[in-house]
């Protein structure tokens, strides 16, 4: 009988418990819900997700070949200081910081509201 469990080799470059930051299912669901509505409204066309050791970043683009219009950043190192979440604009200026994701998404949610006349 061959014992295969003793010959386990880790995949090169595989994520280990080195502290890669990511979005959990609920956070990603909220972000993708907003993204879908912004696409339907014609505001965004593409997105990118970057997960590193310091931050997880969701970038939303008006057009693919541009800088991101907005970045939603999750930085656990700032949890006890300025807040875990940040909304950054196209020019790199932090538009909003906070401890809760819905509060960070609120300025983008307001962009989707339209005045309906009687």
15 inside domain = no
11 inside domain = no
CA-nearest of 18, 90, 23 to 51 is 23
Task: Say if residue 115's pLDDT is above 60.
Answer: no
> Secondary structure of the chain: what % helix, strand, coil (to 5)?
30, 25, 45
Domain containing residue 103: 25-111
14 inside domain = no
**For residue 105, what are the CA distances in angstroms to 30, 41, 45, 49, 61?**
9, 16, 18, 16, 16
Residue the block writes with tokens 């080799």 = 9
Query: Which is more confident, 71 or 16?
Result: 71
72 inside domain = yes
pLDDT band of residue 12 (cuts 50, 70, 90) is low
pLDDT band of residue 1 (cuts 50, 70, 90) is low
Q: How many domains does the chain have?
A: 1
17 inside domain = no
33 inside domain = yes
13 inside domain = no
Q: How many CB atoms lie within 10 A of CB 103?
A: 14
pLDDT digits (tens, 9 = 90+) for 57-112: 999 998 877 789 999 999 888 888 888 999 999 888 999 999 999 999 999 988 88
Beta strands in the chain (DSSP E): 46-51, 56-61, 70-74, 85-89, 94-98
Q: Which tokens is 84 given?
A: 């875990």
118 inside domain = no
Compute φ and ψ for 71, nearest 5 degrees. Answer: -125, 130
């Amino acid at each position: 009988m061959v014992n295969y469990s003793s010959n386990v080799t880790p995949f090169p470059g595989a994520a280990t418990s080195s502290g890669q930051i990511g979005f959990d299912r609920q956070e990603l669901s909220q972000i993708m819900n907003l993204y879908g509505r912004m696409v339907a409204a014609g505001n965004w066309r593409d997105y990118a997700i970057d997960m590193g050791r310091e931050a997880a970043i969701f970038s939303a683009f008006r057009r693919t070949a541009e800088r991101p219009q907005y970045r939603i950043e999750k930085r656990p190192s700032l949890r006890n200081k300025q807040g875990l979440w940040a909304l950054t604009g196209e020019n790199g200026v932090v538009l909003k910081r906070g401890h809760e994701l819905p509060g960070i998404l609120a300025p983008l949610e307001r962009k989707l509201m339209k005045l309906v006349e009687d």
